[in-house]
Amino acid sequence: MSKKILANDGIDAQGKALLEKAGFTVITEKVAQENLIQAINEQKYVGLTVRSATKVRKDVVDACPGLKLIGRGGVGMDNIDVDYARGKGVEVVNTPAASSHSVAELVFAHLFNCVRFLYDSNRQMPVNGDTQFDVLKKKYAKGVELKGKTIGIIGFGRIGQAVAKIALGCGMKVVAYDPFLQEAIIYLDIYGVTEKIAVKLHTVPLEKLLAESDFITLHVPGGKVITKKEFDLMKDGVCIANAARGGVIDEADLISALNSGKVSHAALDVFENEPTPKKELLSHPKISLTPHIGAATEEAQERIGIELAELIISKLS
């Protein structure tokens, strides 16, 4: 059997080295989506690894009988027809735990960014800081602390729980909603403390979370979770973050909620129309923005690459 792997959206060097040590040939040269089927068949790839860019739909599965494994570097697999591929005998694997902490840290980077107006200050200071220093100082003088506030976490899997750890460390009250989970024990790792601190958290109904939270962050695999109906249940001045999937917050309803003051700030790492998000979002004065970089840290990519390599070796060796 061929031992050729196409890492079409790249793979960390350590993961690549592990695969090569196990006898696999790993190709990282990007193949355009329209040429993917031809490349897999001509080069006799038995494994294909992707991130979010490459789509592996039924047409690819049907047209590539030699493909034995599809690996997703990351959590969500909405760009792969998972059940169909597995039904055809193709292994489908992912690395759900590897990027959790990186995504959680990005969420808090955005939240701190919002409550101290850094996203706007970093735009205005280079342009007007030398002539309107006192004006800007007054403009950004109404920040708030995260400590003592309530954060609502929608989706309480690995990433949601990683967010909860940071929130607890910041002195926040955590409420969580997850239809598949009634409770979770969060273990806090504190540098210099040998024993982990265990905190048991019970999930609550979504309506209760929406009504009580000062900050809301979403960590779900997809679906339209937040619309005008849900915004209407929230506190006035709530701050909401989405580093999960584009579309889980209705973007038109979000813009309306920001404009009305119902939502004080939004933090978005993902968008409905990637890679061309709506201009209204990109230029909105109350939104902190990043271009889908939740898992884009060196540490997460290394963990993803190693975990993916180990899965491929175990499945195809």
290-305 per-position pLDDT tens digit: 999 999 999 999 999 9
Active-site residue identified among 20, 212, 272, 274: 274
Does one domain contain both 153 and 82? no
Angle between helices 118-128 and 100-115 (to 10 degrees): 60
The number of beta carbons lying within 10 Å of the beta carbon of residue 311 is 18
Does one domain contain both 74 and 138? no
Please compute the mean of the pLDDT values over residues 94-122 and round it to a whole number. Answer: 96
Distance between CA 76 and CA 220 in Å, rounded? Answer: 9
Based on the number of CB atoms within 10 Å of its own CB, is 84 exposed (0-12), middle (13-18) or buried (19 or more)? middle
Does one domain contain both 36 and 120? no
Please compute the mean of the pLDDT values over residues 68-90 and round it to a whole number. Answer: 95
Does one domain contain both 71 and 130? no
Antiparallel, parallel or unpaired: β 173-177 and 150-154: parallel
Does one domain contain both 48 and 121? no
Does one domain contain both 118 and 32? no
Model confidence at 166: pLDDT above 70: yes
Does one domain contain both 68 and 82? yes
Residue 223: alpha-carbon gap to chain centroid? 14
Active-site residue identified among 20, 91, 292, 302: 292
Phi, psi of 265 (to 5 degrees): -150, 155
Is the CB of residue 145 less than 8 Å from the CB of residue 204? no
Does one domain contain both 86 and 153? no
Question: What CATH number does residue 111 fall under?
Answer: 3.40.50.720
Whether residue 245 lies in the annotated active site: yes
Between residues 251 and 76, the one the model is more confident about: 251
Active-site residue identified among 51, 72, 245, 284: 245
Give the ranges where 100-181 is alpha helix by DSSP (H).
100-115, 118-128, 133-139, 158-169
What pLDDT, on a 0 to 100 scale, did the predictor assign at position 280?
97
What pLDDT, on a 0 to 100 scale, did the predictor assign at position 52?
85
Whether residue 274 lies in the annotated active site: yes
Please compute the mean of the pLDDT values over residues 272-301 and round it to a whole number. Answer: 96
* Number of domain units in the chain: 2
Distance between CA 312 and CA 98 in Å, rounded? Answer: 16
The number of beta carbons lying within 10 Å of the beta carbon of residue 310 is 16
Model confidence at 1: pLDDT above 80: no
Model confidence at 123: pLDDT above 80: yes
Whether residue 280 lies in the annotated active site: no
Model confidence at 2: pLDDT above 90: no
* Residue numbers of the domain that contains 9: 4-98+298-316
Does one domain contain both 260 and 122? yes
Any idea of the CA torsion for 203, 266, 279, 291, to the nearest 10 degrees? -70
Does one domain contain both 262 and 208? yes
Give the ranges where the chain is alpha helix by DSSP (H).
13-21, 36-43, 58-63, 82-87, 100-115, 118-128, 133-139, 158-169, 206-212, 228-233, 251-260, 279-282, 298-316
Is the CB of residue 144 less than 8 Å from the CB of residue 238? no
